[in-house]
Amino acid sequence: MRLKIFSYLFMALCTHQLYAVQVTRDITYTHTGQKMDLLLPERTELDPPRAAAIVMHSGGWVSGERSEMAFIAQWFAEQGLVVINVDYTLATSAEKKWPAQLADVIQGVWWLKENATEYHINPDKILAVGASAGGYLAAMLGQTSVSNFQSGVDSEVHGLVCYSAPWDLLNANSAEQRYYTSLLLSSSTAEALYLASPLYQITRHSPPVLIFHGTEDVLVPFQQSDAACHAYLSKGLESCSLQPLAGCTHFLERSDIEASFDSIRLFLNSWLATEEH
């Protein structure tokens, strides 16, 4: 049995196909003028519709841009996913605070579903991927579904990959996290912090999630991701996988992220093989 399992993992890691990717930059995807890059893997007319991913950058909600995630977006597209790598509103003034960021990335998911036919996308296989603030937005997308009645689509995503994501704003464990949270939210009441925390929005319908988190993270402590997986278990879900990054801080090196790609590939193999209900 161990030999069979090892053989399966070896084949999954070593025999995968890499796709050539076409990139279209600076597409406007929100009504506020936010931009994204579209990455399309090569395909033939015989290929089934592809899974898709929305990729979101870090920056404490007040800085950063999509170019920082370009290599991650490229990797997912090379695996065969249609990818959008998005900018979103930065909370740099009172009128740009939460939930403007979530509203933007919701429109990103709508864009994927509205354009599913044109770009040969499976609208029931949408992955949300993000790091730090972007990981937080991915986590929130996983617990949120908003309908666009004009186009007849919703913002439901079906899987998550999060790096160093803050899951709990109500019980922020560090002064730095509380500081950045104060920049994001216009209110610091317990109710506001609770409603803006993906941890407390997890339900038995939450999508599978793969989490990477540094064990030496003092900005967003590792325990937040651990709490997220415990919350999944409390809802009867076994679809939260937490991979500790031993010795890593909040600010991951590119090499740390690239080292995670084999684990993500295994996650994708399982996720793509699972029927949505």
User: What proportions of the chain, in percent to the nearest 5, are helix, strand and coil?
Assistant: 40, 20, 40
Domain membership of residue 191 (yes or no) is yes
Domain membership of residue 93 (yes or no) is yes
Domain membership of residue 5 (yes or no) is no
Domain membership of residue 2 (yes or no) is no
pLDDT digits (tens, 9 = 90+) for 46-70: 889 999 999 999 999 999 999 999 9
Domain membership of residue 225 (yes or no) is yes
Provide the domain count of the chain. Answer: 1
Domain membership of residue 11 (yes or no) is no
Q: Are 53 and 102 in contact (CB under 8 A)?
A: no
pLDDT digits (tens, 9 = 90+) for 69-98: 999 999 999 999 999 999 999 999 999 999
Predicted confidence at residue 136, as pLDDT, reads 98
pLDDT digits (tens, 9 = 90+) for 157-213: 999 999 999 999 999 989 999 999 999 999 999 999 999 999 999 999 999 999 999
pLDDT digits (tens, 9 = 90+) for 236-266: 999 999 999 999 999 999 999 999 999 999 9
What's the CATH code of the domain at 168? 3.40.50.1820
Domain membership of residue 122 (yes or no) is yes
Q: Which domain holds residue 120?
A: 17-273
What whole-number distance in Å separates Cα of residue 239 and Cα of residue 229? Answer: 8
Evaluated on CA atoms 115, 118, 121, 124, the torsion sign reads positive
pLDDT digits (tens, 9 = 90+) for 99-141: 999 999 999 999 999 999 999 999 999 999 999 999 999 999 9
Domain membership of residue 254 (yes or no) is yes
| Residue 270 pLDDT class (50, 70, 90 cuts) | very high
Predicted confidence at residue 179, as pLDDT, reads 96
